[in-house]
Chain A
Amino acid sequence: MSDDIKISIRNLFKIFGPDPQGALEHVRAGMGKSDLLEEQGHVLGLKDINVDMQAGKITVIMGLSGSGKSTLIRHLNRLIEPTAGEVIVNGEDVLAYNEDQLRRLRRENMSMVFQKFALLPHRTVLENAGMPLEVRGYDRKDREDEARKWLNRVGLEGQDNQFPHQLSGGMQQRVGIARALTSNADIMLMDEAFSALDPLIRTDMQDLLLELQEELHKTVVFITHDLDEALKLADHLVILKDGQIIQQGEPQHILLHPNDPYIMDFISDINRARVLRVRSVMQKTDQHRPGLAGDVDAEDTLESVIALSGGDTALGYRVLRHGTQVGILSVKDLVRALVPTAASEEGPRSSSGLSLSHGTGSR
């Protein structure tokens, strides 16, 4: 992993209520979310968050409703002020910014996409997309050119003079993305940007985001409560529960080594063969071994290897990346990786008790 860290969150706490500082003492002393609410009447929004987000990568923050995802992302551009902690963007502490500096950060370095699109209903598509530049005082022609360019890029040619309510949800969110791109900021915050869309459109939008990302290499902070979406998009996955991070890391790694019953339950329902990739389950070696059935790519999904092998567990494959060998994959290992960790270690869905039913119930 490179060390090019764009956003760094350090020891961030957020407590909602009349006396957050007082309540902070209790939280630091180890009081949990429900106790804090009952005994102190304060809501624990975030507790001791530490995340590094890499430049040009997609960091996905995942958690169930109420876990504090929106609260966390709004600290990055200070729509919400923290109770304690630091948010460092491009090496500078955002919390030390005065109003002008903060406004410049919001105008030039960060853009945001919203769950319910948050377009201006009284403005046309073109005006909406050009809004970030209008705010900065660009003249009409410049901002319209730029807005039109991005509207075309997200597939909205010829809709310039429509009003948002005349578009479908998917198209409205394309306007939302075009608006974020028009601002030309290198950080994009997306709060459940695709959650309000129906599944097919949602897949389209995910593909669009990945495609744009190939080209633009923005630093994306993406929030979702959907594991499939998280796994599809994430370079770095952060799992949040009750305002706390319970695990973060490379998504494949979390899938194979979940460290918490909550996560085990979360991942127990997904199609692992479709999500896990060859590189995550192969044996790393550049040694050649005889008797291999063929070549697969490190980024191939296990599903495609199963199809290739026809289900024969005796086979093994050479794993290539950019044409050179990086490992060897035996189909036996592959099959083993398909069994969820919780089940393989402790029997099916046994130990996690409450959080199990909680997790499945809310999805």
Chain B
Amino acid sequence: MASYDFLFDGLGLRDWCEAGTSDGPMSMADLIGKAAGGEAAAPTIWELPFPSMDALNDACPNFPQARELTKGLENGFLSIKDGLSLFLDPITQPLSWSLEAALWLFQTAPWWIMIPLLLLVVQLVSRSVKLVGFVALCLGFLAFIDYYDHAMQTLAIIFVCAAICVLIGVPIGIAMSRSNTFQNITTPVLDMLQTLPPFVYLIPLIFLFSVTEPKLYGIAIILYAIVPVIRLTNLGIRLVDKEVIEAAESFGMTSWQKLTGVQIPLALPNIMAGVNQTIMMSLAMVVIASLVSAPGLGVLVLRGIRNLELGVGLLSGLGIVLLAVVLDRVTKAALARVNAAQKH
């Protein structure tokens, strides 16, 4: 018989085990055992299996099998899902709207408005003609190889998601910097968000929202990309010179004056570094999110994989690299300007 019979016999649980059971669904081991030909001899100590759920189920049919755990998780999630989406749907609706609006805007504006506008933005944040030239070259190349639409879709999604990350992340970071308790609660959550493989985010989200809604990938991108801006805002504020804070207090600043006049400005280099990372991570995620209908260059990568169109895959990959370089350079240039303005 099964290896762990003695356990249930010893605990006097045999009756409970056998109560009302016919043969439940067979475990893998049973099937293999059957295939190998009937009951084997009593197992020796060398063959003692780990007391896993399936092994225990062998000895006691009423003990749950491992597959019931995953099944249970799934059922549990499905049962709260309706309640959850009742609550999540309305508050995430603006995200769908803004994504749709941004996508519409970036695609309907003709290229001869859109490209100069983007270049103007680059000039404003970086004040570097060289960089503007580089960006013009990259965008020009993408447009020339007919990836303009896809690139604009990707950019639109990144703009919206990164903006929302900053809007939510900076206040969370500030709150963390002011309360050690809050920091201790938040840090493990951030650690988890950062280490969870990006694909895993998508699974529960697919159940919660319909795949046709932009907020599905919007949320996935934001969850993935928001971490650095939160962390670096917290860090930046905590690193502000203690004596400067004391000076601010000793002249009677209110905590609001201190926050806006001293802490945020002095934390700005760190916050900007966080924004840079957030944008880069949004870009990484927007490619993966094309699995759940996010438009953009990721769709082309996916087509390359699915149809084994090597050229499309490689070229769209190159396009993503170009976008990444552009976004990185521009945010770094902005960061450098902030740094130069407040060298110590």
Binding site for B on A (CB under 8 A): 74, 77, 79, 103-108, 110-112, 114-116, 118-122, 131-132, 135-136, 163, 165, 179, 183, 189
Contact = CB atoms under 8 A, between A and B. Distances in A.
A131 B241 contact: no
Contacts of B261: 120
Interface in B252-289: 252-254, 257, 261-262, 265-266
B113 interface: no
Interface stretch (B77-85, B216-224, B321-329, B336-344): B336-344
A121 B257 CA distance: 16
B250 A79 contact: yes
27 contacts: A79-B249, A79-B250, A104-B252, A105-B252, A106-B250, A110-B250, A111-B251, A112-B246, A112-B250, A114-B246, A114-B247, A116-B241, A116-B243, A118-B246, A119-B244, A120-B244, A120-B262, A120-B265, A120-B266, A121-B343, A121-B344, A122-B266, A122-B341, A122-B342, A131-B251, A135-B251, A135-B252
Contacts, number: 65
Contacts of B344: 121, 165
Given A79-B250, A108-B252, A120-B244, 18 more contacts: A74-B246, A77-B250, A79-B249, A103-B254, A110-B250, A112-B250, A116-B243, A118-B244, A118-B247, A119-B244, A120-B261, A120-B262, A120-B266, A121-B266, A121-B344, A132-B251, A135-B253, A163-B342
Contacts of A77: 250
Chain B interface residue count: which class? 20 to 34
Contacts of A179: 251
A104 B251 CA distance: 9
Interface string B233-244: 000000001011
Nearest to A183: B251
A85 to B, nearest CB: 20
Contacts of A163: 342-343
A116 B247 CA distance: 11
B290 to A, nearest CB: 41
Contacts of B249: 79, 106
B252 A165 contact: no
Given A121-B342, A121-B343, A165-B343, A111 B243 contact: no
